[in-house]
Amino acid sequence: MVTLEDVARQAGVSLATASRVLNGSTRQVGASLRAKVELAAAELGYRTNVAAQTLARGASNVIGLVVHDLTDPYFAAIADGAMRVAESQGLMVMIGTTHRDPQREIAYVSTLNAQRVRAVLLVGSRVTDPEMTRRLRTELDQYRESGGRVACVGQNLLGVDTVVPDNRLGAAELARALAGLGHRNFAILAGPDWLIAPRDRVEGFGAALEELGLPAPRVLHGSFDREGGYAAATQVSGVTCVFAVNDVMAVGALASFRDRGIRVPEDVSVAGFDDIFTLRDLVPSLSTVRLPLADMGVRALELALDPSGESRTEIVTGEVILRESTRGLG
Amino acid sequence: MVTLEDVARQAGVSLATASRVLNGSTRQVGASLRAKVELAAAELGYRTNVAAQTLARGASNVIGLVVHDLTDPYFAAIADGAMRVAESQGLMVMIGTTHRDPQREIAYVSTLNAQRVRAVLLVGSRVTDPEMTRRLRTELDQYRESGGRVACVGQNLLGVDTVVPDNRLGAAELARALAGLGHRNFAILAGPDWLIAPRDRVEGFGAALEELGLPAPRVLHGSFDREGGYAAATQVSGVTCVFAVNDVMAVGALASFRDRGIRVPEDVSVAGFDDIFTLRDLVPSLSTVRLPLADMGVRALELALDPSGESRTEIVTGEVILRESTRGLG
DNA sequence: CTGTTAGCGCTTTCAG
DNA sequence: CTGAAAGCGCTAACAG
């Protein structure tokens, strides 16, 4: 393992000088020494020991990213956005997937704290369990006390900068658009109640329906993924329109209806939420509420990296997009 | 920032003792002292400084993962597999996306080397450019000389442990299956020629056709993504069957045909490669060659972490799956 | 079982 | 502009 000292010796300069040329220092170094050091470093194949650097500097160049599930395109898109800004700033990203287990999220924050990452990004819906939220907050507070920065994509429950998709509003507008199509009787394919995002979508949708004087929707719960959508959809009957609280659940619903010989949109309309890019070529194409996923990741990391604020909330509104999976009734 | 020393002082023990209880040491510590240390650590909210630990130990607990594109479900699936084994071993993963730029791949290896990660996983097709391969190899060799472990998912061109999907064989078997359906005239929606995986698939498919005495397929090049598939498909005519070298290109092709009023599979059959999970509910469902993606990620990291080998090659064979997007011509 | 102590490799005052 | 030296926080002999 070649160290800075080896380089300094070979170049015939001091450790300090070698450090100054090889690592971004504000201090200037004379051209000839600089050249010598660079040559020596190249010859020896020197690679900075980042651990030593981090220890000496008291600050690392990595950011932590905690997501629920990387194979869910929702998270992949947000992560991609965040990673692009990380890369543009010369930061590495350390990633953890919780598989929707709040405890794991807490554990990751602790680990990332130990890593002394520059910032941590928590991506994904918060949970309703106040105890979990409290413990996570405690962990985050401790991390922040030691100078860590935190941002969240989800709901502002952690006292940190947050990018929050307006789930209630998006769902409400979707409900109004669907009602505008003539639908009166709805079913909602809801996610688990302990996740706030799907719950908000259910509530927003229901509230809008109520405002319009329409019958309350039938709410069917399932897991927040394709299987959950499939399972919940099997219980649907007697409605003209189904709202799945996210696109992957909607895909499950589509499959379920297909298996039951129910045509979409002829027999029943289906709408989702998120506008997952990978699903754009679905047939029938999915009506949904578009969220600027990659952008949310970008903004979240920007917030985390920008020291000039504290617990800022940036609301992102979704855009209703009606495609083939929903049809007008009359 | 509370340090081990603070904990030791508060607990009234030596630094060494505190270290032994708080960090996995083989050495035993008496129950009463152990309790004192744990109490002190909890009271103070102590968090190990991993950078210091890494420096002192000379070994880190993170692995590096380099993929082309995280929003491509192919990579997300493999990454997920690798991350699961990392998690099970208490390792964190640092991730980098190259967006298919070989130079970035080299740069990431260099950075990960600087981070002194325990192992690095290179996921994705190698390129044909020998100069790039050479430079990457040089960088990897340097990393390995200093004790780093490397594994690759793709082709064994780097002299490291590699999980290689048998692209030629998979494509050949697909060709035979399709020919078995009665198809004689094929077009291939090929990826860029500088990527080995798509090139191998084209060759394997073509070779099988030749063996069967069938006319050579028309090869249409496009980028290795949905857009590339769409674009290449617009030039298809006069064939009964189209082979897109991966599923996302096949999805593009499906969209293209739909836009042109060409029915699949009635007018033309379409097959892909990879069997992307997210696309399982496509209509028509896609015929393809299934690769055990998550598993490949698992095995690759296992290889990297298992010191008992050197440049092992583990071949993964795909399984032809015929679904609705291809039909028999008999 | 417990404590002392010498580093790990790099950064950063502080002098010159 | 350059060098000497004091740590950063933790681990791992080595001694007791």
- From chain B residues 153-212, the ones with a CB under 8 A of any chain A CB are none
* Pick from A1-15, A305-319, B21-35: least confident: B21-35
What pLDDT sits at residue A25? 67
Q: How far apart are CA B14 and CA B8, in angstroms?
A: 6
Please judge whether A73 and B73 are an interchain contact, meaning their C-beta atoms are less than 8 angstroms apart: yes
C2 C1' closest Cα residue: B17
Residue A152 scores a pLDDT above 80? yes
Asked if residue B73 has a cis previous peptide bond (ω within 30° of 0), the answer is: no
CA quadruple B62, B64, B70, B76: dihedral, nearest 10: -70
- Tens of pLDDT along A283-296? 899 999 999 999 99
Residues 216-255 of A with CB under 8 A from B: 226, 248, 251-252, 254-255
Average pLDDT on B209-220 reads: 97
The answer to whether A306 and A155 are in contact (CB under 8 A) is: no
Cα A131 to Cα A106, B30, B299: the distances in Å are 12, 34, 38
Query: Looking up tokens 């740069």, which residue turns up?
Result: B107
Whether A203 has a pLDDT exceeding 90, the answer reads yes
Mutation target for A interface from B47, B121, B257, B279: give the one with most A CBs within 10 A. B47
Q: Average the pLDDT over B76-91 and give the result.
A: 97
Give the three-state DSSP class for A66: strand
Is B108:B64 a contact under the CB 8 Å cutoff? yes
Q: Which stretch of DSSP H or E encloses residue A313?
A: strand A313-316
pLDDT over 70 for what percent of chain A?
Answer: 99
Minimum-distance nucleotide, CA of A46 to C1': C9
- Say how far A56 CA is from D6 C1', in Å: 12
Categorize the per-residue pLDDT at B27 as very low, low, confident or very high, splitting at 50, 70 and 90: low
**Which residue reads 């078995």 in tokens?**
B180
Are the C-beta atoms of residues B99 and B46 closer than 8 Å to each other? no
Q: Give the HSE-up count for residue A220: Cα atoms under 13 Å, Cβ half-sphere.
A: 21
Protein-to-nucleotide distance from the CA of A59 to the C1' of C13, whole angstroms: 18
A70 closest CB neighbour out of B80, B110, B111: B80
Average pLDDT of span B156-180: 97
Q: How many CB pairs under 8 A join A and B?
A: 130
Among A4, A50, A63, A145, most B C-beta atoms within 10 A, so best to mutate, is A50
| pLDDT over threshold 90, residue A187 | yes
Confidence of residue B178 (pLDDT cuts 50, 70, 90): very high
Q: Does A287 touch chain B (CB under 8 A)?
A: no
Verdict on whether the full-model pTM lies above 0.75: yes
Which pLDDT value is given to residue B308?
A: 83
| Å separating the CA of residue A33 from the C1' of nucleotide C7 | 29
Question: Closest nucleotide to A15's CA, by C1' atom?
Answer: D3
pLDDT recorded at residue A150: 96
Whether residue A316 is predicted with pLDDT greater than 70 in this model: the reply is: yes
CA distances from A178 to A173, A189, A237, A245, B26 (A): 8, 15, 18, 14, 64
As a rounded value in angstroms, the CA-to-C1' distance for A26 and C4 is 39
Q: What is the mean pLDDT of residues A235-257?
A: 96
Whether residues A94 and B96 touch (CB distance < 8 A) is answered with: no
Closest alpha carbon to B165 in B274, B317, B320: B317
Facing residue for A55 by CB, picked from B55, B70, B79: B55
* Residues 6 or more apart in contact with residue B10 via CB below 8 angstroms: B40, B43, B44
Q: Provide the mean pLDDT of chain A.
A: 95
Q: Which residues contact B227 (CB under 8 A, 6 or more apart)?
A: B252
Residue A222, pLDDT > 90, answer yes
Chain A contacts of B1, Cβ < 8 Å? 146-147
- Nearest nucleotide from residue B1 CA, by C1' atom: D9
* pLDDT score for B25: 65
Q: How many CB atoms lie within 10 A of CB A266?
A: 9
**Interatomic CA–C1' length for residue A67 and nucleotide C14, angstroms:** 46
Q: Which chain B residues contact residue A94 at CB under 8 A?
A: 62, 92-95
Model confidence at A96, pLDDT cuts 50, 70, 90, reads very high
Secondary structure of residue A25 in the 3-state scheme: coil
Query: What average pLDDT score do residues B65-88 get?
Result: 97
> Residue B51: which nucleotide is closest by CA–C1'?
D9
Q: pLDDT by residue (tens digit) across A35-46?
A: 999 999 999 999
d(CA A43, CA B172) in angstroms, rounded, equals 47
- Say if the Cβ atoms of A283 and B283 lie within 8 Å: yes
Which of B47, B80, B114 minimises the CB distance to A71? B80
Confidence of residue B126 (pLDDT cuts 50, 70, 90): very high
Q: Are B93 and A92 a contacting pair at CB < 8 A?
A: no
The residue with greater pLDDT, B147 or B77, is B77
> Predicted confidence band at B26 (pLDDT cuts at 50, 70, 90)?
low
Beta-carbon neighbour count of residue B318 at 10 Å?
22
Q: Burial, A302: exposed, middle or buried (Cβ in 10 Å; 0-12, 13-18, 19+)?
A: middle
What's residue A78's pLDDT?
A: 98
Q: Which bases of chain C come closer than 7 Å to a protein CB?
A: 1-13
Residue A310 pLDDT > 70? yes
* A279 with B283: Cβ contact below 8 A: no
CB of A281 less than 8 A from some CB of B: yes
Query: Among residues 14-53 of chain B, which lie with CB inside 8 Å of chain A?
Result: 45, 47-52
The CA distance from A153 to A316, in Å, is 10
Are A71 and B277 a contacting pair at CB < 8 A? yes
A87 sits in which H/E element: helix A73-88
Distance A51 CA to D14 C1' (A): 26
User: pLDDT value at position B24?
Assistant: 67
Contacts of B248 in chain A (CB under 8 A): 278
Average pLDDT, chain B: 95
Residues with CB under 7 A from strand C: A 1, 3-5, 15-16, 19-20, 22-23, 25, 27, 46, 48-49, 52-53, 55-57; B 13-17, 20, 27-30, 32-34, 52, 55-56, 58
Asked if strand D comes closer than 7 Å to B278 Cβ, the answer is: no
Q: Do A95 and B97 touch (CB under 8 A)?
A: no
What HEC string does A213-263 produce? Answer: CCCCCEEEECCCCHHHHHHHHCCCCCCCEEEECCHHHHHHHHHHHHHCCCC
**What confidence score (pLDDT) does residue A20 get?**
92
Find the Cα–Cα–Cα–Cα dihedral B8, B13, B19, B21, rounded to 10°. Answer: -110
